[in-house]
Structure 1
Amino acid sequence: PPSHSNADIFESYTGLPSGGIFRADIQDLMASIVKLLNDNGGALTVNIYPFLSHAVYTNALDGNLDTLVWALEKNGFPSLPIIVGEVGWPTDGDPKANPTLARKFNQGLINKIKQGKGTPKRQTLPDIYIFSLIDEDAKGIEPGNFERHWGLFNLDGTVKYPVDLGGGKNLTGAKGVQYLPRQWCVMDPNASVSDPNLDPSVKYACTHVDCTSLTYGSSCSGLDARGTASYAFNKYFQTMNQQSGRCEQFHNLSVITKTDPGSQGGSCWFEIMVDPKMNDQA
């Protein structure tokens, strides 16, 4: 069976793949692991995140892979099979995370896979698994707010951006999805942004739901104070499945509307939650 590791198990002391080594603090451990894998016909599975990489290769994936290959070679295992268990690009939560860059990276990755071309150091392309299928709105964000936005699909199964899979095939969104009523919880137009309850109310909402799209450089970071409050209130309202009273609990600062607050253009998406009852029956 394969062993699974993140790309931070190896590094380069020169900044080039040829300087690839296992980190000094885990060198002995990694040497024993790769020996065990080699002796038992296993493979080393590694997660690679070019989004976080400072590699100097034109193709950061190739740079990461070849750094690992050099590290394996220096430990006496130049031919140990490698599997890329996770590689992808996030679409939100960071100035560098957006659908345009994610599409560019993942389409380039798929094109490379279709060509079957390996790296400069290892000509055979390893098995590669794109990360990830769908967003994870409750995932930990210690590495960054982008951690919840790696999916090729939104939480409702809609496609974030087109990807050509080859052979006339493209990503296809989920079919027959049922949504809750088209209504949103927004800041009451008659409420004041100077209301002392506004900031605590927004913080309360974002403590219980995912507001990473509001953070610096993200898709909704350009909203003004009223828009930010509306986003937070609606995110809470939708996550709570539009339950009665959920929109009314923000100190008379919020109101339900039938007008999509995200319809004015821009990249900020005010979602409508999937109907849990209808989809449980599907």
Structure 2
Amino acid sequence: MENLLPNKLFFIFFGGAMFLAAAAVEGNWCVARSDASTQALQTALDYACGSGADCTPLQPNNGLCFLPNTIQAHASYAFNSYFQRKGMAPGSCDFSGTATVAKTDPSYGSCVYPSSLRYVCLRDLNLMINLSLAMALFIGKKEDFL
């Protein structure tokens, strides 16, 4: 009889990947509010960069997110970095009312904003593989594994 285990594993793994892709359609990003004042954004940007955000991509010489060189763009990147590093904790995307949570990825060109979507997919990939193998063992016949 033909060994169907590889087919079972493929469908279980593929089905799990499709589930993760469907579950990860929405991400959360923290961005600067368009109605925030320049002064308030600058204060919040300084706080974010000094309190855990990765602001390296905003550096003028080789930062992938330096352009456009606007307070709005820089604050958005810094706010989001802080928000993601804090695990999207409640209140970590406020910055005295200058930020808001967005459902649309603000990344552009080579400036990639970290997101819950990316972290969840990578973290859960190992879990999905382990679950797929466990399901295959459960579904498969003893002879398939000898």
TM-score range with shorter-chain normalisation? 0.5 to 0.7
Structure 1 position 211 matched with structure 2 position 55: yes
With over 3 angstroms needed to count, the CA separation of the structure-2 counterparts of 1:180 and 1:197, relative to structure 1, is: farther
Deviations 1:123-160 (A, max 9, x none): xxxxxxxxxxxxxxxxxxxxxxxxxxxxxxxxxxxxxx
Q: How does 1:11-160 map to 2 (within 5 A)?
A: none
Q: Which amino acid aligns with 2:41?
A: L
Deviations 1:52-89 (A, max 9, x none): xxxxxxxxxxxxxxxxxxxxxxxxxxxxxxxxxxxxxx
Deviation, 1:281, is 7.7
Structure 1, unaligned stretches of length 5 or more? 1-174
Structure with a larger share of its residues in helix: 2
Q: Normalised by the size of structure 1, how large is the TM-score?
A: 0.32
1 CA distance for matches of 2:42 and 2:84? 20
Quick check: 1:235–1:271 contact (8 Å CA) kept in 2?
yes
- Asked which structure has the greater CA Rg, the reply is 1
Structure 1 position 220 matched with structure 2 position 65: yes
Instruction: Look up the match of 1:186.
Output: 31
Deviation, 1:239, is 1.1
Q: How many residues align?
A: 102
2 CA distance for matches of 1:279 and 1:225? 35
Indicate the percent of aligned positions where both proteins have the same amino acid. Answer: 32
With over 3 angstroms needed to count, the CA separation of the structure-2 counterparts of 1:209 and 1:180, relative to structure 1, is: farther
What is the CA RMSD across the aligned residues, in angstroms? 2.8
With over 3 angstroms needed to count, the CA separation of the structure-2 counterparts of 1:180 and 1:215, relative to structure 1, is: farther
If asked which structure has higher relative contact order (CA below 8 Å, sep 6+), I would say 2
2 CA distance for matches of 1:191 and 1:200? 11
Q: Which runs of 4+ in 1 moved over 3 A?
A: 175-181, 278-281
Structure 1 position 241 matched with structure 2 position 84: no
Instruction: Look up the match of 1:201.
Output: 44
Quick check: 2:80–2:113 contact (8 Å CA) kept in 1?
yes
With over 3 angstroms needed to count, the CA separation of the structure-2 counterparts of 1:254 and 1:198, relative to structure 1, is: same
Structure 2, unaligned stretches of length 5 or more? 1-16, 128-146
